[in-house]
Amino acid sequence: QEARAAAGLVHGNIVQIHEVACVEGVHFLAEEYVAGPTLKTWLTVRGPLDARQAVTVLGQVGSALARAAEQGVVHRDIKPENLLVTPGGDVKVADFGLARVLTGPEGMDLTQDGMTLGTPLYMSPEQAEGRAVDARSDLYSLGATVYHLLAGKPPFDGPTPLAVAMAHINQPATPLATLRPDLPAGLCAIIDT
């Protein structure tokens, strides 16, 4: 049901889901093909983004997340691996597999508070604690993602996924300007917030 709700999201910066179905007990999504790398691959091959590229990512992904929020959908797994770059340079949000629908008919919400789903490197504190999430959780994850794309490393690291999740809850990240003094102060302030 949540995949079907995500399939209803139509936006130029969201990978379009064409079909949600089950064949012989196998559930699947058929999605738009994007002939480009993920931002994780981009980072590995080309190195950290510059300020202009980061602002483009923020604007395009932010616009996609705003559309999702308008329709009551929280992605819950924003990370470089789920952001694809088209040959024309647009960024598209992919993989709504962990999406949560905040509004809709009774029974639409298939996951419950108290469940922790997502990727700890980019997870919002409330998500790490298994509390209720909303559009702000995706914005936090977008900030953590762009921090990684600019700094070349995630805002927090640790020996285990739990340690990383706890760092999001209990520690401030190293200020981005410390790692990238070449970036505009305003951009660093946006990401650090």
pLDDT, tens digit, for every residue of 132-174?
Answer: 888 999 999 999 999 999 999 999 999 998 999 999 999 999 9
Per-residue pLDDT reduced to its tens digit, 112-130:
444 445 688 999 999 888 8
pTM of the full predicted structure?
Answer: 0.86
Whether pLDDT at 5 is above 60: yes
Q: What pLDDT score was predicted for residue 97? A: 62
What pLDDT, on a 0 to 100 scale, did the predictor assign at position 79?
Answer: 95
Inter-CA distances, 113 with 91, 100, 129, 132, 137, Å = 30, 11, 9, 5, 13
Range 173-182 average pLDDT = 97
pLDDT surpasses 70 at 56: yes
What is the pLDDT at residue 99?
63
Q: With pLDDT > 90 as the criterion, what percentage of the chain qualifies?
A: 62
Mean pLDDT of the chain: 87
102 within 8 A of 6, measured Cβ to Cβ: no
Spatial distance between the Cα atoms of 95 and 31, rounded to a whole number of angstroms = 9
Q: Which residues are catalytic?
A: 77
pLDDT value, residue 117: 54
The beta strand positions in 16-104, using DSSP E, are 17-23, 26-31, 73-74, 83-85, 91-93, 100-101
Mean pLDDT of 17-30: 88
Supply the pLDDT for residue 116: 46
Which residue type sits at 172? P
Residue 100: pLDDT band (50, 70, 90) is low
